[in-house]
């Protein structure tokens, strides 16, 4: 648990560990399979050009929590054919292999044990433009309470706080 103002956030206390080659290989295999289901970049539809806009307050809270909800992201980070198609639509100049390469290049050297492969010490290591939409859409239970309690002011920082870049996205638990 992490106290953020008067709101309890679930927190992530898992240690960091080097990402082993097997996890990178699993991600690569998953993405190559997914890409076979994506015939072309998704350049139409409401989401293709935009990424979710996370408020500064939510970013700060998620930075304090350190991404509890990323812990079930596994080796695929919720990247299904729709997610990858949307990402490809933002970088249509890339070939499929290059897009997969960009995902692999975003894997951090170390991630939290038994968490999403992109879940690094500073937060999500994957650019927002490449994440699954669910990562940007999810809000855990306490966050709506946080929005109400803020009422235009940031909460007093308390609990386990350290300087760190914000965890900018989350995913389903
Ligand atoms: S949305 Fe996720 S990272 Fe943000 S506070 Fe909730 S559990 Fe933590
Ligand atoms: S926000 Fe990033 S670290 Fe969290 S589940 Fe999504 S891709 Fe993984």
Among 65, 63, 64, 86, residue whose Cα is nearest residue 134:
86
**Residue 170 near ligand 2, beta carbon < 6 Å:** yes
Please give the pLDDT value at position 114: 95
φ, ψ (nearest 5 deg) of residue 34: -60, -40
**Residue 77 near ligand 2, beta carbon < 6 Å:** yes
> Look-up: residue for tokens 């990247």?
79
> Which residues' Cβ are closer than 6 Å to ligand 1?
9-10, 61-62, 65, 67-69, 138-140, 143, 167, 170
**Half-sphere CA count of 53, side-chain side, radius 13 A:** 2
* pLDDT tens digits, one per residue of 79-108: 999 999 999 999 999 999 999 999 999 999
Which ligand 2 atom lies nearest to the CA of residue 167?
Answer: 1
pTM: 0.84
Which ranges of 106-161 does DSSP label H, i.e. alpha helix? 133-137, 142-150
Cβ burial, residue 133 (10 Å; 0-12/13-18/19+):
middle
Q: In terms of DSSP bridges, do strands 123-124 and 119-120 run parallel, antiparallel, or are they unpaired?
A: antiparallel
Where the chain has pLDDT below 50, the residues are 155-166, 168-169, 171-173
Which ligand 2 atom lies nearest to the CA of residue 117?
Answer: 8
Q: Of all protein residues, whose CA lies closest to atom 5 belonging to ligand 2?
A: 70
Among 14, 26, 38, residue whose Cα is nearest residue 114:
14
Please give the pLDDT value at position 57: 83
**Residue 117 near ligand 2, beta carbon < 6 Å:** no
Please give the pLDDT value at position 118: 98
* pLDDT tens digits, one per residue of 30-41: 999 999 999 888
CB 139 within 8 A of CB 70: no
**Residue 135 near ligand 2, beta carbon < 6 Å:** yes
């Amino acid at each position: 648990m992490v106290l953020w103002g008067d709101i309890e956030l679930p927190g992530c206390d898992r240690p960091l560990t080097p990402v082993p080659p097997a996890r990178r290989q699993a991600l690569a295999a998953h993405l190559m399979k997914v890409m076979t289901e994506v015939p072309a970049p998704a350049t139409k539809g409401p989401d293709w050009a935009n990424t979710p806009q996370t408020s500064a307050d939510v970013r700060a809270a998620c930075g304090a929590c350190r991404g509890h909800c990323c812990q079930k992201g596994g080796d695929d980070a919720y990247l299904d054919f729709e997610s990858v198609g949307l990402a490809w639509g933002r970088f249509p100049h890339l070939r499929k292999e290059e897009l997969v390469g960009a995902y692999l290049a975003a894997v951090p050297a170390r991630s939290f044990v038994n968490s999403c492969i992109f879940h690094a010490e500073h937060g999500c290591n994957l650019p927002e433009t490449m994440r699954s939409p669910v990562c940007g859409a999810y809000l855990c239970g306490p966050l709506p309470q946080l929005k109400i309690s803020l009422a235009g002011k940031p909460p007093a920082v308390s609990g386990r706080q350290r300087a760190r870049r914000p965890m900018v996205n989350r995913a389903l638990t």
